[in-house]
């Protein structure tokens, strides 16, 4: 495998396209309007319940700023939202590098756009698995797949993408963007990536710890043979 070696990056990156997919919707009612005030032409790509929440926040004319991921990718969500964001165009948008000609050609070839910000947090596995009497099946259903993938992709590509995994960071992001014409600095993107990797590491640890407390007998009791 040949790895890309990046030698040139931009300090300040303008946020034109943001992917929003969150379980914890705290703060969206102020964060989204603030982003739109700073960047009136910003486009949000979203799915499921997050899409409906954003549509309610943005209100009339939401279609100018809000795009359903399935409309963007051409692939409908599967039943129960099992597969929503695991699509080539999404990860191309998250992982492409600004000064890589091959990446830019891939964007043009697929009619994709670079995603500049990913606002993603994960299914509440910890909360569900810690409920008294929680079954393995209930916990299994709250193992997030697309969320960790998006977070890891965005955080890996901090050289161009801001990965916002903690609603507690919304205020700082807005403040920086307001002061820099809708842009986010390399230092902030780097720091956000560190928090994002800690977020996914903690999530995987919670799953591993829960699994370690289970037995094959308890598992079998969840399902009919």
Domain 13-221 homologous superfamily, CATH: Methylglyoxal synthase-like domain (3.40.50.1380)
Whole-model pTM?
0.91
pLDDT score of 84: 65
pLDDT score of 25: 96
pLDDT score of 132: 86
pLDDT score of 135: 85
**Cα gap 44→67, rounded to integer Å:** 6
pLDDT score of 79: 58
pLDDT score of 97: 93
pLDDT score of 63: 86
Q: What pLDDT tens digit does each residue of the chain (225 aa) get?
A: 677 788 899 999 999 999 999 999 999 999 999 999 999 999 999 998 999 999 999 999 888 999 999 999 887 666 556 666 778 899 999 999 998 989 899 999 999 999 999 999 987 888 888 888 888 888 898 888 889 999 999 999 999 999 999 999 999 999 999 999 999 999 999 999 999 999 999 999 999 998 888 888 878 877 765
Q: Is 83 left (phi over 0), alpha (psi -120 to 50) or beta?
A: beta
Predicted confidence (pLDDT) per residue in 17-54, tens digit: 999 999 999 999 999 999 999 999 999 999 989 999 99
């Amino acid at each position: 495998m040949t790895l890309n070696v990046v030698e040139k990056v931009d300090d300040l990156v303008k946020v034109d396209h943001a992917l929003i997919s969150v379980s914890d919707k705290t703060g969206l009612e102020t964060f989204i309007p603030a982003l739109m005030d700073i960047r009136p032409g910003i486009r949000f790509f979203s799915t499921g319940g997050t899409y409906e929440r954003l549509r309610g926040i943005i209100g009339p004319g939401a279609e100018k700023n809000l795009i359903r991921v399935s409309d963007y990718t051409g692939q409908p969500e599967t039943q129960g939202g099992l597969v929503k964001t695991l699509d080539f165009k999404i990860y191309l948008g998250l992982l492409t590098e600004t000064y890589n000609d091959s990446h830019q050609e891939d964007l043009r070839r697929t009619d994709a756009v670079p995603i500049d910000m990913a606002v993603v947090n994960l299914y509440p596995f910890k909360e569900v698995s810690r409920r008294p009497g929680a079954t393995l099946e209930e916990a299994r259903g709250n193992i997030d797949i697309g969320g960790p993938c998006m977070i890891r992709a965005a955080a890996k590509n901090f050289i161009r993408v801001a990965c916002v995994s903690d609603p507690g960071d919304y205020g700082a992001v807005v403040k920086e963007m307001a002061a820099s014409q809708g842009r986010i600095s390399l230092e902030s993107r780097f720091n956000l990536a560190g928090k994002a990797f800690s977020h996914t590491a903690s999530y995987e640890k919670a799953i591993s710890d829960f699994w370690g407390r289970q037995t094959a007998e308890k598992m079998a009791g969840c399902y009919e043979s």
